[in-house]
Structure formats: structure tokens, C-alpha cells
Chains A and B, each alone.
Chain A
Amino acid sequence: MFGLDKKDATLLVIVAILTLCAPFLLNPFPSESALAQFNAGYPDLMQRFVIFGIFAIGFNILFGLTGYLSFGHAAFLGVGSYSAVWMFKLLSMNVIPAIILSVVVAGLFSLLIGFISLRRSGIYFSILTLAFAQMSFNLAYSVLTPITNGETGLQLTLNDPRILGQSATADGSIPVTSLFGLEMRSTYELVMGPWAFQFNAGYYLCAVIMVLAFYMSIRIFRSPFGLMLRAIKSNQTRMSYTGLNPKPYTLAAFVISGMYAGLAGGLMASMDPLAGAERMQWTASGEVVLMTILGGAGTLIGPVLGAGFIKYFENIFSKINDTVLHSWFSFMPDGLENLVVMLVYPFIGKGWHLTLGLMFMMVVIFLPGGLVEGGQRIRRLFRRKDDTPAAKTEPAE
């Protein structure tokens, strides 16, 4: 189906079904129950899941296939966001031109940075990309403030021209982003007994784009071009000796993954029309590296899982405060309750970084292949007996 073999097609269909049903899957707990704290099925977080999924998928095309570790990918995300917001300010509130421009600008920007950075490989390449990203971040704060509005972030105002749209709506507020009239923020709430599920237009736009991006990434992985990229990863010197110049391939991979990042940035701005320079900070670049490694670098689904995992921690664990903890453990006697809360407290709330760090260490030490390897091990555990015949049909790569 779609030019994919059966295994990949199944994976694509599974991903498509998971993203389409996400509002149900992420809201397993009734909204009034104590466990509702762990529900993640609200539009903003679901949008973040798929947008960072796109970002990580793109990053994986570069890192997973060629092995080139870019530490500056957030710069492309930031550039994409800024271009999209400028499109909303100048042209119209339709998301299509904004997304197209953000992909194009990020592509051009990555072409420039890639052309320079790819003269080196290994750690030197990483440092070069990191330097460029930090440079973009600092420029956004200082020299480029007329374009980026510095620390305040680029925002829409009532005075923006918006040539093809309107500067302000009839009731005097800033128009909202839309896809040909379908407002990105419009949400349909489905109440089924104690459960409430939210279906958000913006989320479904992002989800459809993510499924497309995922499909493209499968095609790249399985194409001769993808094979060439793998060759670069396994032995670049040997590849040069056979008379192939690896540079055009790495540059192409770099630009493609830069465009993915720009797409993610454009979508982020389309969901919430604000662009801040902190999106370009090195921590943001590091985050996508974490996502990819946590999920499983070089695997198709890994980066998406990693993105979801990190964003879940950031948004759900960071919101558990000591009041919530006390309500959980209120069944215990007073002294014990305080002790338990005191022990758990450093790992939740603002301590979510600590929990995430520990998880990351565990994954790297015990599951070097990331969450995907974890999944494979569990599967192997259950079907140890009929494991052998499947291996035979695997084509050699």
C-alpha cells in the first residue's frame, strides 16, 4: 500500500489510527476522578505531541540515518516560527501560507548552515551547528529585535496590516489562525458519562501533517537515497573510495531535516501565534536529541515516542504540586503522609527534570536502542517460540 511493504504499511496505519484516536487514548480517566491529573488529552498538549513528533522525525532523518549529530536543530524550528508569525502579521491568518513560508525559510537557512557545517564531521560538526544555533538565539535577542521582538516574543497586534485578511475582527479583537475559515482553536467537546473528550481542529491538522511527514520519512528510509545515507553512517571513507561523493547526500539530509524542523515551527506558530527566541536556545536543540535517543535513534517510530514521552513529563509531571500530593496520600497517618510527600516531592513539580534525567539514564544504560528496543524485548518475551521464522523473510539491507 502506498508503495510500502506490508510491515511499513502496518506501522503507518497504526500510527494514523493512534493519532486520530488520541483524544480518546490520552484521556483514559474520568474528568472528576483523582487520576484525571494524568490525562493528557487536551488540545494544547496533543498538538505539542504531534508537532514535536514531526520535529523528531525530521531530526532522525539526519541523525538516525547519517549519524551526523546536529546540536543546533532548534534554530530551524525558531526560524520557522518567526516566518509563520510574520506571515500572520503581514498576509492573512490562514495557516497554509504561513506553513509554506516557514518550511521554505527553514530550508534555505539549513542549506546555508549545512553547507558550512558539513565541511567537518563528528564532534566538530556538532560544535559548528551548536555555535550557529546559539548565534541565531543571541542575534534574535539583540541585533534582530526589530524582526524578533527580543525576549517579549513576536506577537500579533491590532495594527498589523494583514493584506489578505483583516487587521481586527468586527468586535475589535485580533483574528485567530484558521484553515480557510476553520478556526484552529475550535474544539468540540464530547461528553460520555464521566468522561470528556476534546476534538480540536488544530490538533487534527497537525496530526494529518504528522502522518504525512511520517509517511515521507518511511519512504526516505526505504529509498536508495536512504541507503546511501546509511552507507555514510557505516563508513564514509569507504564510500568516498568507491568514487561516491558523500557531501551532496549529507547536505540533502540536513536540509530535509531542517525543513521538517521548520514545518514543526510553523505549525507551532499556527496553533499559537507567538514566537519566542527561547525556542532556539541550545536546551531546545538538546531536547530533540534526547527525544530521538530516548525513543530509539534510527528507528521509524522511536522519535515520535520519545517526543511524546518528554512532552508528557514536561506538561503533566511539572503540574503536580504538594497540595495534590497531600490529597493523594491523605489516607495515611499525618506523620507518615508528610514523610511520603517529602520523599516524592523532589521528583515532581519543578523537579520533573530530575525524574526525566533518571529515566533517560536508565534507558541509555539498559535499553541502548531506546523505547523501541524496550518494546521489542517485551514482544520477544511473549513470542519466544515462533521467533525464528520471521527473521528469515527480512530482506538484507
Chain B
Amino acid sequence: MSKLNLTRRGVIKTGAAAGTALAMPTILTAGSHAGFTNAPTGSSVTLGFNVPQTGPYAEEGMDELRAQELAVQHLNGEGDGGMMNTFSSKALKGNGILGKKVEFVTGDTQTKSDAARASAKSMIEKDGAIMVNGGSSSGVAIAVQGLCQEAGIIFMAGLTHSNDTTGKDKKANGFRHFFNGYMSAAALAPVLKSAYGDDRQAYHLTADYTWGWTQQESIAAATEAMGWNTVNNVLTPLASTDFSSYIAPVLNSGADVLVLNHYGGNMVNSLTNAIQFGLRDKMVNGKKFEIVVPLYSELMAAGAGENVQGVIGSMNWNWQLQDAGSKAFVKSFGEKYGRPPSNSAHTCYVQTLLYADACERAGTFNPCGVGEALEGFDFDGLGNGPTSYRADDHQCFKDVLVMKGKENPTNEYDTLEIVEVTPRAQVEYAPDHPMFAGGQLGACNPGA
């Protein structure tokens, strides 16, 4: 069917193509630039803000982006400086980072690990980002953290609450300011005990990924330690939007507490479904049926409306805090966007400042130097009281807020009230705690 017709021109063409193909690897192995990945050369430095703009966590992502833009303004000396004025470290001068003007690029993670990595990669390879900040959803954060470790840049985790981010999937180039499932459980357990008693039957609905699993494990462990019984744990896909089929079996399970290990759009939908089924008006085992949402956020509370009234949960930070740092941040955020910031916005803002400050103190953008400056760093004035970055797992330790849906909200942002500020000592754990064991930080990677 085929005949090999050799022509002089054909042979030359083929030879040239094959030669180029063969020569490529030798050209490629020639070493690239020295130092570290994306070392800034001009008068500016680029940060990458990788947040979900679509998908179940989109609301949180958009708020993170607002905070990140605000942080860049403050770093460049525009606006009122926000928390830079109350920050205990005074290395930041409002002239960018190390004298270089801060610029930023944004990307959409779509709340999917694949898309998040693609977007982070394009920031690193195309835009020359020196640091990536963001990542709602722990699955995404862990995936991007792994990528940043390989590429040799710093990852400042945004909203990620899974134990694994600084547990078994911790990386030397990754840092987390946000709290985690274990801390939520440790803070919530005493409050739940005093509110609902120590003899309860709990039914868990859990988002089926790393965050859901570890938070459920933490909450179950903490509540069982005080006498509760875990009736059942049902895993739900992150992409679900209707949870009625998961709620119906709760009614017949004999449980009297429903724990929703859901976040963002998932939580809004599952809580709404639960209320529609009349769960909170039921009396089971002689007790009033209760719903617990271990990880709260203002945006979720706003989305769920009056359904959150009386529901208990925990938070990393809330705009109603009255310390100087929180007030300064709420003021400048409010002036720019006309609304109070959420706790995901807060953590991203703080992470951006912490990164910039670490660069200033280290005197370099080299990820290894920045990492050293962040490890074991004690600071205050960023809204959470005295905080420290533990060197063993790159996790921040600080007070945790226990929140409750407000019964009589006065305006659309006034949806939650602070029940208790759990002191830091109560939520601390050893770096080799079984829920966090199994991973290693590895060595810091400067890339290049």
C-alpha cells in the first residue's frame, strides 16, 4: 500500500528535523540562571494570588482577592497602611518589599486541584511570581503547596483548614497562618459540652476530601472524649449542590446533633436543606435537635441567612474583634470595599504582610532565607493577639474564636456573635500528634 520514495530534498529535510530533535536535550541540559527561581531583577516584584473565582468556594475567593489587593496597596505605601501600623515587626516601610514595588497577578483555581496547579504554574513560569498566596479548599492548597515546593518558591497558604496541610502533607516551602481542624475541635468541645450536655448522639455529614476527613476525625475524637457518641459519618462529594438525600436518613438514625463538616456553598446548601426538613424543631431522645458547623465564615452565614441563628461553630478571626490590629484592618477594608472583611480575607491579607516582612527581615527573596525568617517568628498586632509560626510544621498558633449565629441580627453583616475566645494554650498540640504524623517538611527548595 505504501512505497518509499526517497528524494534528495526529502532526505535533507528529514535529516535536519531529526538532527534538531536529537540536539535538543543537549541544549536543554545547559544550566539555567543561578540563585533561586524567579529572582526579581527589575524595580518590581510579582506576587501570585491564586484563589477560587468559580466553584463552591468562589465567594471566599473573591473576598481573599479583595484583601490581597488591599495588602499590595499597603505594602506600596498607598492607602492608610492598615495593619502595617499595628504589626509588632516594624521592618516594612511602605516602599514595597526590599525597595521593589509590589505587583501581582491573579488566577482562578476553580476549586479544583488540576486547574489550581495549572494557574499557579502559569504564574511561576510566565509571570515570574516569587510567592503564591491563596487557595480556598485544602485539597487545592495541598496540591499547590506541593507544586511550589518543586518549583522552589514560597507558598503562603490562604484558607485551608485541613490538618494535613501542616500535617502529613507539610512542605518546607509552605506556611499556614489559618487554624486547622484539630484546633477547631479543641476549642469547640468545651462550648458544645456546656451548651448541649455530654450525652449526645452525633451524625456527621462530611465533605469528601482531605479537609472534611481530618476535621471530622478531629471533631469526632474531641466530642467522644467528653462523652458524645458518633452515630454515623456520611461523605458527600464537594460538587454536590443538593443535600436532601443526605439529610433524610438523619431523621431516622436516632441522632440528636448534626455536625456539618461542610464549607462555602456546600454548607449554605446543606444547612438550608437541614432547616427545610425541620431538623431544628425536632425533639430526639428527649432533647432538642441541634446543628453544629465546626468551621464558620461570615460569607457562609450571610448566604445561609436566618438559618444560622443559634448554630455554633469556630473561626480564625472575626471583624467584630476590638483589638487595634483588627480595627485598623476593618477600617481600611471597609473604606475601600464598603463591607467588613471575612476571616478568609483576613488570613490572606496577613499572610501577604508576613511574607513581605519576612523578606525584609531576611534581606532577600530567596525562599530559604524567607523560610528561616518565618520559622519560629513571634508577632502581634495582626488581629489574633500574640501569634507564633512554629518551626516544626510551619503552622501558626494563636487564639481560636467560637462563634454562634446571632438571634437578632441588626444588619446584613451582623450575623455571628463571639461566644468565647479560646486561649492558644488549649488548642496547641505536639508536632508529632497522631493526626498530624506521617509527613516530613523536607529541605527548603530555592529552585533553579
Is B113 in contact with A278, judged by CB distance below 8 angstroms?
yes
Residue of A nearest to B17 (CB): A16
Q: Is the CB of A187 within 8 A of B32?
A: yes
**A166 beta carbon closer than 8 Å to chain B:** no
In the complex, chain A residues whose CB is within 8 Å of the CB of B3: 3
Contact call A188/B32, Cβ cutoff below 8 A:
yes
Contact present for A138 and B28 (CB under 8 Å): no
Closest chain-B Cβ to A223's Cβ sits at a distance in Å of 7
Number of interface residues of A (CB under 8 A): 59
Taking CB as reference atom, which chain B residue is nearest A158?
Answer: B440
Q: For B108, list chain A residues within 8 Å (CB).
A: 318, 349-350
Contact A274 B53 (CB under 8 A): no
Residues of A within 8 A of B126 (CB): 39, 42, 44-45
Report the minimum CB–CB distance from B399 to chain A (whole Å).
29
Q: Is B13's CB under 8 angstroms from A44's CB?
A: no
Residues of B within 8 A of A171 (CB): 442-443, 445
Which residues of B are found within 8 Å of A208, using beta-carbon distances? Answer: 21
Contact B150 A276 (CB under 8 A): no
A338 at interface by CB-CB < 8 Å = no
A44 to B150, CA, bound (A): 14
Q: Which of B397-448 contact A (CB under 8 A)?
A: 438-440, 442-443, 445
Complex contact A274–B29 (CB within 8 A): no
Q: Does B251 contact A (CB under 8 A)?
A: no
User: Interface with B: A82-90, A121-129, A198-206, A229-237, which one?
Assistant: A198-206
A104 on interface, CB distance cutoff 8 Å: no
B143 contacts which of A3, A172, A274 (Cβ < 8 Å)? A274
**Cα distance A45–B123 when bound, in Å?**
11
Task: Please name all residues of chain A whose beta carbon is closer than 8 Å to the beta carbon of B7 when the two chains form the complex.
Answer: 1
- Residues 210 to 258 of chain B near chain A (Cβ within 8 Å): 210, 235, 237-238
- Given A13-B13, A276-B112, are A152 and B445 neighbors across the interface (CB < 8 Å)? no
User: Does A188 lie within 8 Å of B443, measured CB to CB?
Assistant: no
Residues from chain B with a CB closer than 8 A to the CB of A388 are none
B1 on the A face (CB < 8 A): yes
Residues of B within 8 A of A344 (CB): none
In the complex, chain B residues whose CB is within 8 Å of the CB of A43: 121, 125
Bound form: Cα–Cα A155–B168 in Å:
12
CB distance from A141 to the nearest CB of B (A): 5
| B14 close to A (CB within 8 Å) | yes
Contact B118 A44 (CB under 8 A): yes
Q: Which residues from chain A contact B2 at a C-beta distance below 8 Å?
A: 3-4
Asked if B142 CB lies within 8 Å of chain A CBs, one says yes
Give the B interface residue count (CB, 8 A). Answer: 65
Inter-chain contact A319/B28, CB cutoff 8 Å? no
Pairwise interchain contact B442-A151, C-beta atoms closer than 8 A: no
The residue on A at minimum CB distance from B149 is A173
B114 and A152 within 8 A (CB): no
B208 engages A20 (CB within 8 Å): no
Expressed in whole angstroms, the Cα–Cα distance for A83 and B246 within the complex equals 32
Any B CB within 8 A of the CB of A9: yes
Partner of B27, one of A151, A158, A188: A188
For residue B10, CB closer than 8 A to chain A, the reply is: yes
| Cβ–Cβ contact B122 & A319, under 8 A | yes
Is B135 part of the contact surface with A, judged by Cβ < 8 Å? no
Query: Are B25 and A152 interface neighbours, CB within 8 A?
Result: no
A376 CB-CB contact with B under 8 Å: no
Also in contact, A151 and B53, with CB within 8 A (given A44-B122, A172-B442, A174-B150)? no
Q: State how many angstroms separate the Cβ of A341 from the closest Cβ of chain B.
A: 15
The answer to whether B54 has its CB under 8 Å from any CB of chain A is yes
Verify if B147 is at the interface (C-beta below 8 Å from A). Answer: yes
How far is A188 from B23 in the complex, measured between Cα atoms in Å?
13
CB–CB A151/B121 < 8 A: no
- Are B113 and A158 in contact (CB-based, < 8 A)? no
Q: How far is the CA of A158 from the CA of B126 in the complex (A)?
A: 29
User: Could you tell me the distance in whole angstroms from the C-beta of B19 to the nearest C-beta in chain A?
Assistant: 11
Interchain CA distance A142-B235 in the complex, whole Å: 8
Q: Does residue A159 face the partner (Cβ distance < 8 Å to B)?
A: yes
- The answer, yes or no, to whether A355 is at the interface (CB within 8 Å) is no
Among residues of A, the one whose C-beta sits closest to the C-beta of B2 is A3
The residues of A that contact B30 with a CB separation of less than 8 Å are 188
Contact B442 A272 (CB under 8 A): no
Set of chain B residues within 8 Å of A223, measured between Cβ atoms: 1
Residue of A whose beta carbon sits closest to that of B212: A151
- CB pair A174–B122 under 8 Å, yes or no, is no
Number of A-B contacts (CB under 8 A): 161
Q: Are A188 and B442 in contact (CB under 8 A)?
A: no
With contacts A20-B21, A315-B122 known, is A153 near B113, CB below 8 A? yes
Q: With contacts A142-B208, A172-B440 known, is A186 near B143, CB below 8 A?
A: no
- The answer to whether residues A158 and B21 also contact, given A44-B125, A276-B113 and a CB cut-off of 8 A, is no
Q: Is residue B395 within 8 Å, beta carbon to beta carbon, of the partner chain?
A: no
A256-B367 Cα distance, complex, nearest whole Å:
46
Residues A173 and B17 in contact, CB atoms below 8 Å apart: no
Is A17 within 8 A of B113, CB to CB? no
CA distance A200 to B24 in the complex (A): 10
Minimum CB distance partner of B107 in chain A: A319
B-facing mask of A163-195, CB < 8 A → 1, else 0?
000001001111010000010011111000000
- Are the CB atoms of B53 and A150 closer together than 8 Å? no
B122 contact set on A, CB distance < 8 A: 42, 44-45, 315, 319
Does A173 contact B442, Cβ atoms closer than 8 Å? yes
Q: A42-B122, A42-B125, A272-B117 are in contact. Are A155 and B146 (CB under 8 A)?
A: yes
**A42, A145, A151, A199: residue with the most chain B Cβ atoms closer than 10 Å:** A151
A162 at the interface (CB under 8 A from B): no
Question: Complex Cα distance A334/B440, Å?
Answer: 53
A321: Cβ under 8 A from any B Cβ? yes
Tell which of A141, A153, A199 has the most Cβ of chain B within 10 Å.
A153
Say yes or no: is B322 at the interface (Cβ < 8 Å to chain A): no
CB distance from B374 to the nearest CB of A (A): 18
Report the minimal beta-carbon distance from B56 to chain A, rounded to whole angstroms. Answer: 11
For residue A224, CB closer than 8 A to chain B, the reply is yes
Whether B439 and A158, one on each chain, are in contact in the complex, defined by CB atoms closer than 8 angstroms, is: yes
Q: Which of A158, A185, A199 contacts B150 (CB 8 A)?
A: A185
Whether B28 and A204, one on each chain, are in contact in the complex, defined by CB atoms closer than 8 angstroms, is: yes
Complex formed: what's the CA distance from A176 to B442 in Å? 14
Q: Are B112 and A278 in contact (CB under 8 A)?
A: yes
Please state if A44 and B121 are interface contacts (CB–CB under 8 Å). yes
A157 at the interface (CB under 8 A from B): yes
Point out the residue from B24, B143, B151 that lies within 8 Å of A199, measured CB to CB.
B24
- B209 touches A (CB below 8 Å): yes
- Does B195 sit at the interface, judged by CB under 8 A? no
Q: Which residues of B contact A319 (CB under 8 A)?
A: 105-107, 119, 122
Point out the residues of chain B lying under 8 angstroms from A349, CB to CB: 53, 108
Interface flags for A114-145 (1: CB within 8 Å of B; 0: not) read 00000000000000000000000010011001
Question: Is A158 within 8 A of B114, CB to CB?
Answer: no
Beyond A3-B4, A39-B126, A189-B32, is A173–B445 a contact (Cβ under 8 Å)? yes
13 contacts between A and B (CB under 8 A): A4-B2, A20-B21, A48-B118, A142-B237, A150-B208, A152-B142, A153-B113, A153-B114, A168-B442, A171-B442, A185-B151, A198-B125, A272-B121
Given contacts A204-B24, A204-B25, 6 further A-B contacts (CB under 8 A): A3-B2, A3-B4, A44-B121, A185-B151, A272-B147, A274-B114
Q: Which residues of A contact B (CB under 8 A)?
A: 1, 3-4, 9, 13, 16-17, 20, 39, 42-45, 48, 138, 141-142, 145, 150-153, 155-159, 168, 171-174, 176, 182, 185-189, 198-201, 204, 208, 223-224, 272, 274, 276, 278-279, 315, 318-319, 321, 323, 349-350
3 nearest A-B residue pairs (beta carbon):
A151-B209, A3-B2, A44-B121
